[in-house]
């Protein structure tokens, strides 16, 4: 048989069916003629005997089967026509479904890519984090010698690779730039199976001194800094003043491309850095095939015990931790936020479904006559349900397509709103096949959910009643009204639960924003000012250079104060050191408490506006040779000097040597002052209390400084002149990531802001949808009760009475829903409680606000139909039927 397009085949079938049946009639006619009838009689008799041509055709079509597609097309055509005939309904429905499905698809793409999908590495279950466990069970980076022992002695891992943060200044290009980077062991890339587009990754032995001047760079760095030079492999680049040969460029889609880092160099450990006290390394391992996590843990435990036995001074009580990458690469905060949002969009979609079911029910009543006529003409119930379902599916699929557009925009908007690197590099959030499938499935489900009940209802009409013009009898459709009312109650319930949750988050967010920072970020900018250790032979020379920069920037018009710090405010603790109080019982280094150490210029406190609680600040006399002076923060004072005056006490800390990773013997630092805590990690850390100390950069020089500048005007206006001043001192000095502290502050709330704002948007949508639902139900009930209202008016009810009657109706529905919603919100709030800051789960202000908002919403939704009811003229109303 010749292959034909289905549509042509169908036409051909139709033509043949027609001629087959017509031939029959004609033969009957000629037969009749033969038996002596007139032409006219013969034809008439033949037609009568044959019966309904179309009906027979239809039965033939049914009999030859394969035409369900036909019926479907017919249903779709009819459905489209119906939908086009009521554009108001169609547009509302499409927008509702579009928003509902779009929100779900957008959030799902995050959930899927961040949580559900396997990591984009070959056999990701074999990749493990390795870390040291301190005697107090907290985690710690690995000391260099311990790391080498682990690498050598373990039999459980194919590879153990160390890595450490190693930014580097790239020069020899147009503008010197600080590259974020890592130093990694030779097999680091092999553990992750990360491939290059050009060249290769490191090989065995390249992480040894002498062979380690090679680098692997990201594809984007290759494009941006080296203009996609095809001859990049083998090219020499200058990092921190030293020459490195580029041996590899990462493949474009590699997860490492989305990471924070741009350049990788081999991790070679210089002899002077071999130590058990210097905890600088992080490590990953790949389990050998067939080795279980438990076996690896047992083995590493044995190694830890033998190290602790051999080196008790540094390692007594320390252990080794192993954690599968799959379980640890997404922060709990991210996961929780995503689940909360997913639940929220799910609720929005449910509300949307309830709303649509409601509108469709209302339409079902309007269309009752149509359906009844069709049923009377012989349409089977199944056929009617199918027709009505086709309509809702048509809507939900078109809405789903619209939703894809919304989702596309939503994903882009959310990605733009979240802080950089908040998502794990492994997650490549985009509209992919899985999201598409999810959307299609959701559209189908939506269509069924909101279409099925109305379809079942509408296909079982009371024929005689409906066909008669009536249909608006006072007692009619009681159960249907109950159904619609319960749908509205569900909507209001869901919306108020959502509102409660977002209300709690908003309250918490507002409180977070008012958290005491410990400094004043107004008009302050900060920028990294990295200087390679190799550039200056001594700390004094380095400080001379840095102070030159300080003086130059400080002299700028508009600059109030300028300071150096080893770690910018809200930029994390930076250095951390074990310490002990002189005079208390001696503890070995391995078991001392830790505090953060900030090396600052004495102007630091003034510049960022920190408050001194006791004693004096650091000053220009705290230089090398003078008594080592330290200002401690309040957390340290409270925790370690609960009953004493800390001023004059001494802290013993290993000497931090310039340009060396090894620490010297203990040095005593005299406490000269106590400063109020400054926030270290950002605002999202709920109960931060980190003991810390401040020392001058003269007494403790090091090269990774940042510049903080307070302007007498908006800091953004100063950025250019600050950069110029720095470059006047040294044109190759990098100023990294200059930004206002206000910006860091708001970024540190990124996670909270994201979930709060997204959840608020969704609750607003939910509120709007339920308002529409309520409006629909109340308006319809007013139309239905026209006659009743007419009678009441005739019996003397005032328009105020009628207004109250209708309003009470709406308020009652809202009240029931509200009660259910708030009660369930109390349950849901359990899951939110860890996200809340200084807000009770049962926050009465939030609950009160939600009740208020919903009541206002109910009033607004009901007032229009209520006023319409109040204006009903009794004479007209009674003639209504």
Partner 1 sequence: MESEKSDLLQGTLDMLILKVVALGPIHGYAISKRIQQVSKDALQIQQGSLYPALHRLEKRKLLCAEWREAESGREAKFYSLTAAGRKQLGVEESDWERLSEAIRLVMRVDQA
Site residues (vs partner 1, CB under 8 A):
16, 19-21, 23-24, 26-28, 30, 49-52, 55-56, 59-66
What token pair was written down for 332? 């709990």
Taking the complex as a whole, how short is the minimal distance between the CB of residue 366 and partner 1, in angstroms?
A: 36
Which residues have a Cβ under 8 Å from the Cβ of 436 and sit 6 or more positions away? 404
Q: Nearest approach, Cβ of 57 to partner 1 (angstroms)? A: 8
Residue closer to partner 1, measured from CB, 62 or 732:
62
Q: How far is the CB of 375 from partner 1 (least distance, A)?
A: 22
Residue number with CB closer to partner 1 (23 or 626): 23
State phi, psi for 5 to the nearest 5 degrees: -60, 140
Residue length, the chain?
Answer: 881
> Which residue, 21 or 797, is less far from partner 1 as judged by CB?
21
Name which of 26 and 123 has its Cβ closer to partner 1.
26
Q: Is 665 helix (H, G, I), strand (E, B) or coil?
A: strand
* 754 and 417 Cβ atoms separated by less than 8 Å: yes
Question: Interior CA angle at 145 toward 140 and 151, to 5°?
Answer: 90
> Distance from first CA to last CA of the chain, Å, rounded?
62
Minimal distance, residue 395 CB to partner 1, in Å: 34
Task: Write down the least CB distance from residue 387 to partner 1, Å.
Answer: 23
Q: What's the closest the beta carbon of residue 69 comes to partner 1, in angstroms?
A: 15
Please identify which residue in the block is written with the tokens 């919304």.
406
Please tell me whether residue 673 adopts helix, strand or coil conformation: strand
In contact, 194 and 207? CB cutoff 8 Å: no
| Residue with smaller CB distance to partner 1, 377 or 416 | 377
For partner 1, the closer CB: 26 or 840: 26
Distance (Å, whole) CA 869 – CA 864: 9
DSSP-assigned beta bridge partners for residue 527: 707
**Using CA atoms, how far apart are residues 57 and 15, in angstroms rounded to an integer?**
11
Place of tokens 């008594």: 627
- CA distances to 69, 86, 229, 456, 732 from 75, in Å: 10, 17, 59, 17, 72
Shortest approach of partner 1 to residue 58 CB, angstroms?
9
Work out how close the CB of 45 gets to partner 1 at its nearest, in angstroms, rounded to a whole number.
Answer: 12
What backbone torsions phi and psi does residue 288 show, to the nearest 5 degrees? Answer: -65, 150
CA distance to 497, 830, 835, per residue, from 842 (Å): 13, 10, 14
Residue 149 near residue 283 (C-beta atoms within 8 A): no
Angle, in degrees to the nearest 10, between helices 799-832 and 750-784? 150
* Of 14 and 123, CB closest to partner 1: 14
Distance CA 495, CA 544 (A): 63
Q: State how far the Cα of 854 lies from the Cα of 846, in Å rounded to an integer.
A: 12
Cα 854 versus chain centre, distance: 28
Nearer to partner 1, 55 or 465 (CB): 55
- Please identify, using beta-carbon distances, which residue of 16 and 808 lies nearer to partner 1: 16
Nearest of 752, 237, 340, 734 to residue 508 by alpha carbon: 752
Closest alpha carbon to 46 in 68, 61, 14, 24: 24
* Rg of the chain taking only CA atoms, in angstroms: 38
Residue found under tokens 């900030």: 598
- As measured in angstroms, the least distance from the Cβ of 56 to partner 1 is 5
Looking at beta carbons only, is 33 or 274 nearer to partner 1?
33
Between 27 and 39, CB nearer to partner 1: 27
655 to 281, 577, 646, 666, 667: CA distances (angstroms): 20, 10, 21, 6, 6
Q: In the complex, what is the shortest distance from the CB of residue 10 to partner 1, in angstroms, rounded to a whole number?
A: 14
Residue 25 Cβ vs partner 1, minimum distance, rounded to whole Å = 9
List C-alpha distances in Å: 12 to 24, 54, 72, 75. 19, 17, 19, 21
Q: Are 542 and 678 in contact (CB under 8 A)?
A: no
Secondary element (H or E) of residue 494 = helix 478-513
Number of separate helices (H) and strands (E) present in the chain: 27, 25
Smallest gap from Cβ 8 to partner 1, in A, equals 17
**In the complex with partner 1, which residue's Cβ is closer, 19 or 838?**
19
Closer residue to partner 1 (CB): 21 or 623:
21
Report the nearest approach of partner 1 to the CB of residue 424 (Å): 57
Q: How far is the CB of 24 from partner 1 (least distance, A)?
A: 5
CB of 51 to partner 1, least distance (A): 5
Residue (21 or 483) nearer to partner 1, CB:
21
Q: Which is nearer to partner 1, 292 or 380 (CB)?
A: 380
**8 Å CB contact between 247 and 233:** yes
Helix (H) or strand (E) holding 247: strand 242-250
């Amino acid at each position: 048989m010749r292959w034909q397009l289905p549509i042509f085949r169908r036409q051909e079938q139709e033509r043949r069916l027609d001629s087959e049946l017509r031939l029959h009639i004609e033969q009957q006619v000629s037969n009749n003629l033969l038996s002596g009838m007139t032409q006219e009689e013969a034809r008439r008799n033949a037609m009568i005997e044959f019966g309904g041509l179309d009906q027979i055709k239809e039965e033939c079509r049914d009999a030859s089967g394969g035409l369900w597609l036909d019926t479907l097309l017919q249903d779709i055509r009819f459905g489209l026509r119906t939908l086009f005939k009521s554009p108001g309904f169609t547009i509302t429905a499409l927008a509702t479904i579009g928003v509902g499905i779009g929100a779900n698809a957008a959030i799902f793409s995050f959930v899927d890519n961040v949580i559900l999908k396997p990591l984009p590495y070959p056999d990701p279950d074999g990749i493990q984090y390795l870390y040291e466990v301190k005697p107090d069970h907290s985690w710690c980076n690995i000391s260099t010698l311990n790391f080498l022992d682990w690498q050598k002695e373990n039999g459980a891992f194919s590879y153990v690779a160390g890595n450490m943060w190693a930014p580097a200044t790239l020069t020899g290009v147009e503008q010197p730039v600080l590259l974020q980077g890592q130093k990694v062991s030779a097999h680091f890339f092999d553990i992750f199976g990360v491939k290059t587009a050009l060249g290769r990754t490191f090989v065995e032995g390249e992480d040894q001194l002498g062979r380690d001047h090679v680098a692997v760079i990201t594809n984007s760095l290759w494009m941006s800094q080296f203009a996609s030079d095809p001859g990049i492999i083998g090219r020499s680049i200058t990092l921190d003043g030293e020459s490195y040969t580029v041996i590899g460029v990462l493949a474009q889609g590699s997860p490492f491309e989305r990471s924070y880092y741009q350049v990788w160099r081999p991790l070679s450990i210089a002899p002077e850095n071999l130590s058990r006290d210097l905890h600088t390394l992080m490590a990953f391992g790949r389990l050998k095939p067939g080795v279980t996590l438990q076996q690896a843990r047992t083995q590493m435990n044995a190694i830890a015990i033998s190290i602790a036995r051999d080196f008790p001074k540094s390692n007594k009580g320390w252990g080794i931790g192993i954690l599968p990458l799959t379980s640890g690469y997404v922060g709990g905060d991210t996961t929780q936020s995503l689940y909360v949002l997913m639940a929220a969009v799910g609720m929005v979609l449910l509300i949307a479904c309830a709303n649509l079911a409601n509108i469709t029910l209302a339409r079902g009543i309007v269309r009752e006559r149509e359906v009844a006529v069709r049923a009377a003409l012989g349409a089977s119930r199944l056929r009617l349900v199918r027709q009505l379902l086709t309509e809702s599916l048509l809507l939900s699929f078109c809405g789903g397509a619209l939703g894809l557009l919304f989702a596309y925009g939503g994903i882009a908007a959310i990605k733009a709103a979240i802080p950089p690197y908040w998502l794990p590099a492994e997650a490549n959030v985009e509209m992919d096949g899985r999201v598409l499938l999810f959307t299609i499935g959701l559209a189908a489900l939506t269509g069924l959910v909101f279409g099925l009940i109305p379809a079942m209802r509408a296909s079982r009409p009371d024929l005689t009643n409906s066909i008669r013009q009536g249909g608006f009898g006072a007692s009619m459709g009681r159960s249907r009204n109950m159904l619609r009312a319960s749908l509205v109650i569900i909507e209001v319930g869901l919306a108020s639960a959502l509102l409660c949750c977002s209300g709690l988050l908003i309250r918490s967010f507002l409180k977070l924003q008012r958290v005491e920072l410990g400094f004043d970020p107004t008009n302050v900018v900060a920028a990294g000012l990295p200087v390679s250790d190799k550039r200056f032979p001594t700390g004094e020379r380095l400080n001379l250079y840095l102070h030159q920069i300080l003086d130059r920037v400080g002299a700028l018009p508009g600059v109030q104060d300028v300071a150096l710090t080893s770690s910018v405010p809200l930029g994390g603790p930076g250095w951390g050191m074990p310490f002990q109080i002189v005079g208390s019982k001696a503890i070995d280094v391995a078991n001392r408490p830790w505090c953060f150490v900030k090396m600052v210029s004495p102007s630091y406190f003034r510049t960022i506006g920190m408050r001194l609680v006791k004693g004096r600040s650091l000053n220009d006399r705290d230089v090398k040779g003078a008594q080592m002076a330290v200002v401690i923060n309040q957390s340290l004072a409270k925790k370690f000097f609960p009953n004493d005056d800390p001023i004059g006490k001494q802290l013993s800390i290993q000497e931090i040597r310039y340009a060396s990773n090894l620490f010297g013997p203990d040095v005593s630092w005299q406490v000269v002052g106590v400063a109020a805590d400054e926030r270290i990690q950002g605002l999202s850390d709920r109960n931060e209390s980190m003991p810390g100390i401040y020392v001058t950069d003269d007494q403790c020089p090091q090269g990774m400084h940042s510049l903080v500048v307070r302007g007498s005007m908006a800091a953004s206006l100063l950025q250019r002149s600050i950069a110029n001043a720095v470059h006047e001192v040294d044109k190759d000095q990098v100023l990294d990531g200059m930004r206002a502290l206000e910006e860091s502050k708001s970024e540190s709330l990124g996670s909270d802001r994201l979930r709060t704002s997204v959840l608020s948007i969704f609750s607003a949508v939910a509120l709007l949808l339920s308002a529409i639902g309520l409006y629909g139900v109340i308006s319809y009930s007013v139309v239905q009760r026209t006659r009743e209202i007419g009678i009441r008016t005739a019996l003397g009810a005032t328009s105020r009475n009628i207004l109250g009657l209708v309003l009470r109706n709406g308020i009652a529905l809202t009240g029931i829903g509200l009660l259910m919603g708030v009660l369930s919100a109390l349950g849901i709030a359990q899951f939110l409680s860890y996200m809340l800051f200084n807000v009770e789960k049962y926050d009465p202000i939030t609950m009160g606000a939600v009740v208020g908002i919903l009541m206002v919403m109910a009033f607004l939704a009901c007032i229009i139909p209520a006023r319409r009811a109040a204006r009903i003229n009794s004479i007209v109303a009674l003639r209504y039927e």
